[in-house]
Amino acid sequence: MFLKFSPPPIFYGAGGGNDIQWCFSQVKGAVDDDVAEADIISTVEFNHSGELLATGDKGGRVVIFQQEQENKIPSHSRGEYNVYSTFQSHEPEFDYLKSLEIEEKINKIRWLPQKNAAQFLLSTNDKTIKLWKISERDKRPEGYNLKEEDGRYRDPTTVTTLRVPVFRPMDLMVEASPRRIFANAHTYHINSISINSDYETYLSADDLRINLWHLEITDRSFNIVDIKPANMEELTEVITAAEFHPNSCNTFVYSSSKGTIRLCDMRASALCDRHSKLFEEPEDPSNRSFFSEIISSISDVKFSHSGRYMMTRDYLSVKIWDLNMENRPVETYQVHEYLRSKLCSLYENDCIFDKFECCWNGSDSVVMTGSYNNFFRMFDRNTKRDITLEASRENNKPRTVLKPRKVCASGKRKKDEISVDSLDFNKKILHTAWHPKENIIAVATTNNLYIFQDKVN
């Protein structure tokens, strides 16, 4: 069950007192201009309650932040998260058979729903998926019969009386331990992992194949999609993202570099090479160019919480699809249409291959995605209004309201507008996440994690 927000989470300064003003809450990470490669954030993910927020970086580390508890803080500070646990998830490896280095970079993190006191998450690099258990310890046993307090073993012959060991309070310790390691199943780089709604299985996708795993079984997986042609010279598309349906455990989708999304039903056959539905929008001939194929490649696909819609992100736009209508999206939002005239230079500096992610708010009424110059965009599906906000250290006083930003594509620039020519393409927001129940968002800029929340009067 997902909460309906009232008023709907929409934006600063757009008509009347009902609108939400987004304000700064926190920024995590170093301020230095020269950023170490290992510190670049590569994934951001809230858990199912929103109490924990995990980030993965290029150095193979996972950092988990915990939300301050409500009874300890005023309501305007509920967007405050503090470090809960940090651990090294993956190490760099070397494939001696193929003479290839395997990066430690964390590509994706996915939380499992909480079943007991411990939390579990899946993290993956290019080749290996790991299941981590994150647990708390605030008591330690004391009074062993055969062990000294410092851990040394006693001579059993010296024991004359028997004691009953007791638990004593200690400082809280958060431990992360790897429970399962799922390896050696992907020839190509893993781009997606997604946990099934049965909470027993999950899928992992690379460029050409999708595998189905059981969370308890590490030594085998089932190949459910294989688009590898017999002759690799005939290869025309690759898989870019894949996700399970949030309610229907037999249904999943995967997107391709050709801009298509295929919905598959695992009940139809063991190998889902024949899709049940194909979602594709016919190309507008007037927009056809040398870059059409590159910018139509889908970088992310996400089901809505309700399971009725799915959202896809390509280079210039976000599209919302109704699962009952395959021939075109029901909504299309332009993220940075002003870059269409700059595609040539974006191709030369490789920015055109950037993979932007997208996310839904808790009630599926607003979608969010990133852009360049540390801008991020929100689109309200009910009012059809949109806003551009900036993640910047300039307005980093707590509860500072974010001002909407505007980009001037051509002609005379107004006072508050930014010229498209002065955008910094090295500053980009690829990874964003929205708290599942509240108006709290997490936005990753290179090596910094910004947390924003709605302003409470």
Mean pLDDT: which of 4-8, 141-145, 350-354 is highest? 350-354
Distances (CA, A) of 380 to 19, 118, 205, 368, 385: 11, 36, 31, 9, 5
- For residue 302, give both structure tokens: 């996400």
Is a pLDDT exceeding 70 seen at residue 57?
yes
Q: 155: Cβ–Cβ under 8 A, 6 or more apart, which residues?
A: none
Is a pLDDT exceeding 90 seen at residue 398?
no
Phi, psi of 181 (to 5 degrees): -125, 120
CA distance linking residue 396 with residue 20, whole number of Å: 19
pLDDT at residue 5, as a whole number: 39
pLDDT at residue 333, as a whole number: 96
CA distance linking residue 104 with residue 60, whole number of Å: 5
pLDDT: which is higher, 390 or 77: 390
Contact yes or no for 50/113 (Cβ under 8 A): no
Q: What percent of the chain has pLDDT over 90?
A: 67
pLDDT class for 14, splitting at 50, 70, 90?
very low
Contact yes or no for 149/165 (Cβ under 8 A): no
Which domains are assigned to the chain? Answer: 22-134+181-454 (2.130.10.10)
pLDDT at residue 120, as a whole number: 96
pLDDT class for 76, splitting at 50, 70, 90?
low
pLDDT at residue 99, as a whole number: 83
pLDDT class for 35, splitting at 50, 70, 90?
confident
- What is the per-residue pLDDT across 266-318, written as a single tens digit (0 to 9) for each? 999 889 888 999 999 988 887 788 899 999 999 999 999 999 999 999 999 99
pLDDT at residue 170, as a whole number: 81
On average, the pLDDT of the chain sits at: 89
pLDDT at residue 6, as a whole number: 38
Its pTM surpasses 0.85: yes
pLDDT class for 415, splitting at 50, 70, 90?
confident
pLDDT class for 1, splitting at 50, 70, 90?
very low
pLDDT class for 395, splitting at 50, 70, 90?
confident
Question: Could you count the other beta carbons within 10 Å of the beta carbon of residue 427?
Answer: 16
pLDDT at residue 7, as a whole number: 39
Contact yes or no for 277/260 (Cβ under 8 A): no
Is a pLDDT exceeding 70 seen at residue 234?
yes
CA distance linking residue 39 with residue 44, whole number of Å: 13
CA distance linking residue 385 with residue 379, whole number of Å: 6
Q: How far apart are the first and last CA of the chain?
A: 27
Contact yes or no for 69/75 (Cβ under 8 A): no
What's the DSSP call for residue 295? H
Distances (CA, A) of 98 to 101, 104, 134, 211: 9, 17, 34, 22
pLDDT at residue 284, as a whole number: 81
Task: Find out whether the peptide bond into 178 is cis, omega within 30 degrees of 0.
Answer: no
pLDDT class for 157, splitting at 50, 70, 90?
confident
Beta bridge partners of 27: 450
Type of residue found at 232: M
- For residue 177, give both structure tokens: 């331990």
Beta bridge partners of 203: 194, 212
pLDDT: which is higher, 146 or 425: 425
Give the three-state DSSP class for 286.
Answer: helix
- For residue 73, give both structure tokens: 């803080």
Give the three-state DSSP class for 27.
Answer: strand
Is a pLDDT exceeding 70 seen at residue 71?
no
The mean per-residue pLDDT over the stretch 81-110 comes to: 91
Ranking 18-22, 238-242, 264-268, 348-352 by mean pLDDT, the lowest is: 18-22
pLDDT at residue 457, as a whole number: 60
pLDDT: which is higher, 114 or 283: 114
Ranking 84-88, 288-292, 318-322 by mean pLDDT, the lowest is: 288-292
Is a pLDDT exceeding 50 seen at residue 18?
no
Contact yes or no for 37/447 (Cβ under 8 A): no
The mean per-residue pLDDT over the stretch 149-160 comes to: 81
What's the DSSP call for residue 213? E
As to burial, measured by CB atoms within 10 angstroms (0-12 exposed, 13-18 middle, 19+ buried), residue 171 is exposed
Mean pLDDT: which of 69-78, 171-180, 331-340 is highest? 331-340
DSSP letters for 398-424: TTPBPPP-EEE-SSSPPTTEEEGGG--
The mean per-residue pLDDT over the stretch 418-424 comes to: 89
Ranking 11-15, 234-238, 436-440 by mean pLDDT, the lowest is: 11-15
pLDDT class for 145, splitting at 50, 70, 90?
confident
Q: 152: Cβ–Cβ under 8 A, 6 or more apart, which residues?
A: none
448-454/22-28 β-pairing: antiparallel
| CA neighbor of 326 nearest in space, from 260, 227, 241 | 260
Phi, psi of 337 (to 5 degrees): -60, -25
Phi, psi of 302 (to 5 degrees): -140, 130
Question: Could you count the other beta carbons within 10 Å of the beta carbon of residue 23?
Answer: 20
Give the three-state DSSP class for 231.
Answer: coil
